[in-house]
Structure 1
C-alpha cells in the first residue's frame, strides 16, 4: 500500500476533483484497452486496482463488463463510488482475494507507489486473484531508483526489462509492452511503460 504521505496527496486531490477541478488529460490508451480485453469473454469480471476517481472503472462498465474497483485512499474510493455507482472498496494490492476471482485486473499507475521490495509480492497476489489466462494491464513510470516528487508522493521507478522480468517471475506471460508520455498530477511530463500479460 502507498505510504501515509502519498495517500494524503490523493486525499487532497479527491477533494479538488469533487469540487469540480478537471482531471489531467490522459493519453490514448485504446491499443492497451484492446490488448487487455481481446482475450477475455463478454461481460468479463474486471477489477480496477487503484482506481482513483473511477475513470477506467466507469469506462469498462459502460462497455458492458462487470466491474469492481478499489483504492487505498478512502477519499478517492468515496469519490469513485459517487461518480460511478460501482462497488468501490478501500483496499490496495496487499488485500486482494486469495481465490481466482477476476478475468482481468487493470493496474494503471497504481503499483508505482510500492517499494521495490513490495512489488514482486503484489504481482504474485494479482496473479493469484486472476482466473486461468486472466489478463493484467500494468502501467508504470520509467526511470531509476525511488523517491518523492514535489507533491510528496513516493514513487519507485523501473526500466522496461525489470518490469517484464518481475511480471514473468510472478507467473505471467508478457504479450506486449508500449512506451508513451503523459503529464502527472503535478503537471510534470513523464515517460511510462504499459505491460500487458496473461496468467
Structure 2
C-alpha cells in the first residue's frame, strides 16, 4: 500500500485507531489463526498497523515480523517491542519462510489489479501448508471513505476465486459486521486458507 492519502489518514489517527474495538468474530479469528499455526511459528503480520495484533500473536508464543507502510504505526509498534518494518505489500519477497501470514484488513487498500500479485507473493513466502488469515471488507468497486482512505471491495466469490487461482486451499470463512475507524458499519469476511 503506497497511497499517500491513506497513509496520512492513519498517521493522523494512531491513538483513535488503537481505541477501535475489534468485533467478537475478529477476536475469535485471531485466536484461531494462532491455533492453526505451528507452535512457536514464524509469522508475518502484513499491514500490521500500530502492532496490536502483532503483540497478541507474540504473547501467544509466535515469532512475528510486522510490516506496514505508515511510519507512525511502525514507530508505535517498535516502541512496544514489536519487530516492525516500514514497507509495502511489494516488500514481501521471501520464499517459504513463514509458517503463517496474518493479513487483517490490509490488502483491501491495494488496487484491484495488484491483488492477485500480492496473493502470489504471500503464497510464495509461506512454507508448504503455511496458514493465511485474510480479513477483507465485503462490497463492490473501489472508492475512498470518509477519512480519505482508499479501499477496494470484493464479494465473497471474488476473494475465494482469487485465493484458489493463486494456489491456496480455503479452509473456512466467517462473515460479520463491524464498526471501523471511520465510524461506519461494514460487512466483512475473515478467510482461513493454507498454501
Q: TM-score range by the shorter chain?
A: over 0.9
Please, what is the CA RMSD of the aligned residues? 1.5
Aligned to 2:58: 61
Cα distance in 2 for partners of 1:161, 1:95 equals 27
Any gaps of 5 or more consecutive residues in structure 2?
Answer: none
Aligned to 1:13: 13
Cα distance in 1 for partners of 2:17, 2:166 equals 38
Cα distance in 2 for partners of 1:36, 1:187 equals 26
Encode CA deviations 1:47-95: one digit per residue, 9 max, x unaligned: 111111111100010011111111011111111111x312100012111
Aligned to 1:98: 94
Contact 2:17–2:181 (Cα < 8 Å) also in 1: no
Shift of 1:126: 0.4
Alignment of 1:21-40 (within 5 A): 23-28=19-24, 29-40=26-37
Contact 1:93–1:126 (Cα < 8 Å) also in 2: no
Contact 1:116–1:156 (Cα < 8 Å) also in 2: yes
Number of residues paired by the alignment? 194
Q: 1:70 aligns with which of 50, 67, 73?
A: 67
95 and 21 in structure 1: CA distance in 2 versus 1, 3 angstrom threshold: closer
112 and 22 in structure 1: CA distance in 2 versus 1, 3 angstrom threshold: closer
Alignment of 1:63-142 (within 5 A): 63-82=60-79, 84-142=80-138
**Farther-moved stretch of structure 1 (29-38 vs 71-80):** 29-38
Report whether the alignment pairs 1:48 with 2:77: no
Give SS of 1:38's match. helix
Greater per-residue helix proportion: 2
Question: Normalising to structure 2: TM-score of the pair?
Answer: 0.94
Cα distance in 2 for partners of 1:98, 1:47 equals 11
Cα distance in 2 for partners of 1:109, 1:120 equals 16
Encode CA deviations 1:115-163: one digit per residue, 9 max, x unaligned: 1101000000000111110000000000011111111111000000000
67 and 150 in structure 1: CA distance in 2 versus 1, 3 angstrom threshold: same
Any gaps of 5 or more consecutive residues in structure 1?
Answer: none
Deviant stretches of 4+, over 2 Å: 33-40
